[in-house]
């Protein structure tokens, strides 16, 4: 069975080369489109260069000299990974070319994001050579290694699982997660061969706090309409492509060069739901084309790319690790949690500042799909405009989406 599915080594190498070229072409097309934009500022160039340098851990390692560690989702504390001497690298999961690599062996409605990751993990050697930490978030993530193994027996497997308790308000859930984070610390110490001390932790927490400060200032400017959604996404997506200090400095340098107030006040919406990853900026582009401005979002690939702001006045090693565990679990607004009403309340509280809410569902992304219905009802009760768009990484539905977005734009005008 296994031998039957395994192609000859030279054919594998050939396929990898072709697929890498396909992904590189996709990245280049998206980059060309970003570079060609009229609203491009000199301050964006650093971020474009990061994307152009390759969206794989090999490029990051060359750039920073630090070993990279593969991640998916947002629950593994970045500070802890950084304190161990690794550079956290969140696997880019927006490539349609990588998605298309998965011809068979998957359920009909597999989340395109997961298909894309699966494609990359099979064909990107750069990912396969680095350790991989995986939190048990949604079913797709949990089943990813199993699906991967069935289609590609020698594919990269996670090196460490983080079991994420889906109850975050209970003591049992919180304690279990804290123990999981302490186990992650042990794993990282073994993998790096160095002990994570309290000074390392305090330094890394401060590093990410400064990055979060920069992101928060950027967020404030974005809410004022100074940064188009596509740019904000591109900037947030590059967070894992360089040392956080350099990314922070580049954001700090960009902020004063942003226009004071770009665009109209009306027709500004909040974007929630499934994440949007480079190079798949199809939906943000269509939103722009329809004349709608997104000035706030709740995406784990954008506004919530890392939680930041871990209160760390306590300075013992144990307390710092426990603080990180709490911040990344209790304060996590991923929809996979069972006791998740805080998330819905938070979105409702924020959405009041916008004309409407656009809810993005990747086809097959169950947690967001399920949530979209309860959120729709709650938002409409508040009298807010709501549109739910379900799509994937293909371009076929673009016209349809654009028509719906234009219609949505009309309703915003009336408001």
Partner 1 sequence: MVITVRRLRTTAQYVSFIVLMYGGRFGVNLGSAVPCFACPFVRGCGGQCYLLGVQGVLGFGMNLESLTGAPLFSALGWVAVFIILTALLGKIWCGWVCPFGLVQDWFSLLRRKLGVRERMASEKTLRLLSPAKYILLGYIAVLPPLVTVGLLPSSFYLPFCNICPGKALLPLFTLDGEYVAVLYSTFWTALPAVTAITLVGMFFKDRFFCVFCPMLALIHLLKPVTAIRLLKDNDSCVGCGNCTRACPMGISGVSRERERFDVQFDSCLDCARCAESCPSDGALRLNWHRRTLFSSSRLYASRRFRKP
Q: Looking at residues 160 to 189 of the shown chain, list those that interact with partner 1 (rule: CB under 8 A).
A: 168-169
CB of 141 to partner 1, least distance (A): 22
Q: What is d(CA 75, CA 51) in angstroms, rounded to the nearest whole number?
A: 24
Out of 18, 35, 199, 399, which residue is the one contacting partner 1 (CB under 8 A)? Answer: 199
Q: Which is nearer to partner 1, 12 or 312 (CB)?
A: 312
DSSP code per residue over 244-296? HHHHHHHHHHHGGGS-SS-S-STTEEEEEES---TT--HHHHHHHHTT-EEEE
Query: Can residue 6 be called a binding residue for partner 1 (CB under 8 A)?
Result: no
Query: Can residue 212 be called a binding residue for partner 1 (CB under 8 A)?
Result: yes
Q: Specify the residue for token string 């193994």.
A: 149
Report which DSSP code applies to 22: H
Q: Which is nearer to partner 1, 152 or 310 (CB)?
A: 310
Q: What is d(CA 301, CA 305) in angstroms, rounded to the nearest whole number?
A: 5
Q: What is d(CA 168, CA 338) in angstroms, rounded to the nearest whole number?
A: 8
CB of 332 to partner 1, least distance (A): 8
Query: Can residue 213 be called a binding residue for partner 1 (CB under 8 A)?
Result: yes
Separation of CA 30 from chain center: 17
Query: Can residue 109 be called a binding residue for partner 1 (CB under 8 A)?
Result: no
Binding region for partner 1 (CB under 8 A) out of 64-72, 128-136, 291-299, 325-333? 325-333
CB of 310 to partner 1, least distance (A): 7
Out of 57, 88, 267, 307, which residue is the one contacting partner 1 (CB under 8 A)? Answer: 307
CB of 138 to partner 1, least distance (A): 19
Q: Looking at residues 339 to 368 of the shown chain, list those that interact with partner 1 (rule: CB under 8 A).
A: 342, 345-346, 348-350
Query: Can residue 314 be called a binding residue for partner 1 (CB under 8 A)?
Result: yes
Bridge partners of residue 87, in order along the sequence? 68
Q: How far is CA 175 from CA 163, 172, 181, in A?
A: 12, 5, 10
Among 183, 194, 163, 249, residue whose Cα is nearest residue 82 = 194
**Six-digit token string for 352:** 């009041």
Q: What is d(CA 248, CA 234) in angstroms, rounded to the nearest whole number?
A: 14
Site for partner 1, rule CB under 8 A: 168-169, 198-199, 202-203, 205-206, 209-210, 212-213, 216-217, 219-220, 307-319, 323, 326-327, 330-331, 333, 342, 345-346, 348-350
């Amino acid at each position: 069975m296994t031998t039957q599915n395994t192609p000859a080594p030279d054919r594998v190498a050939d396929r990898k080369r072709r697929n890498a070229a396909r992904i590189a072409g996709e990245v280049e097309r998206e980059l060309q489109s970003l570079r060609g934009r009229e609203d491009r500022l000199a301050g964006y160039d650093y971020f474009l260069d990061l994307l152009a340098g390759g969206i794989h851990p090999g490029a990051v390692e060359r750039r920073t000299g630090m070993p990279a560690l593969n991640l998916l989702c947002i629950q593994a504390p970045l500070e802890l990974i950084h304190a161990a001497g690794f550079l956290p690298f969140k696997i880019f999961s927006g490539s349609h070319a990588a998605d298309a690599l998965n011809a068979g062996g998957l359920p009909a409605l597999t989340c395109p994001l997961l298909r894309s990751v699966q494609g990359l993990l099979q064909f990107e050697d750069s990912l396969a050579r680095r350790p991989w930490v995986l939190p048990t978030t949604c079913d797709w993530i949990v089943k990813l290694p199993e699906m991967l193994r069935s289609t590609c027996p020698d594919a990269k497997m996670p090196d460490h699982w983080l079991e994420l308790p889906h109850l975050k308000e209970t003591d049992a859930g919180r304690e279990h997660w804290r123990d999981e984070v302490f186990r992650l610390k042990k794993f990282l110490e073994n993998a790096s061969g160095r002990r994570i001390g309290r000074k390392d932790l305090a330094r890394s927490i401060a590093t990410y706090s400064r990055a979060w400060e920069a992101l928060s200032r950027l967020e404030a400017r974005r809410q004022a309409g100074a940064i188009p959604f596509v740019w904000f996404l591109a900037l947030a997506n590059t967070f894992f492509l360089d040392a956080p200090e350099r990314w922070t400095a580049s954001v700090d340098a960009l902020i004063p060069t942003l226009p004071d107030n770009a665009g109209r006040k009306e027709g500004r919406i909040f974007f929630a739901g499934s994440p949007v990853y480079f190079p798949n900026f199809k939906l943000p582009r269509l939103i722009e084309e329809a004349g709608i401005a997104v000035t706030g979002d709740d995406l784990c690939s954008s506004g919530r790319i890392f939680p930041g702001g871990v209160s760390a006045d306590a300075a013992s090693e144990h307390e710092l690790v426990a603080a990180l565990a709490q911040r990344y679990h209790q304060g996590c607004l991923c929809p996979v949690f069972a006791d998740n009403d805080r998330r819905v309340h938070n979105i409702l509280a924020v959405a009041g500042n916008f004309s409407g809410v656009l809810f993005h569902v990747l086809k097959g992304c169950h947690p967001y799909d399920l949530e979209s219905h309860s959120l729709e009802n709650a938002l409409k009760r508040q009298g807010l405009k709501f549109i739910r768009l379900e799509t994937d990484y293909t371009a076929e539905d673009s016209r349809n989406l654009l028509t719906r977005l234009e219609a949505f734009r009309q309703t915003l005008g009336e408001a």
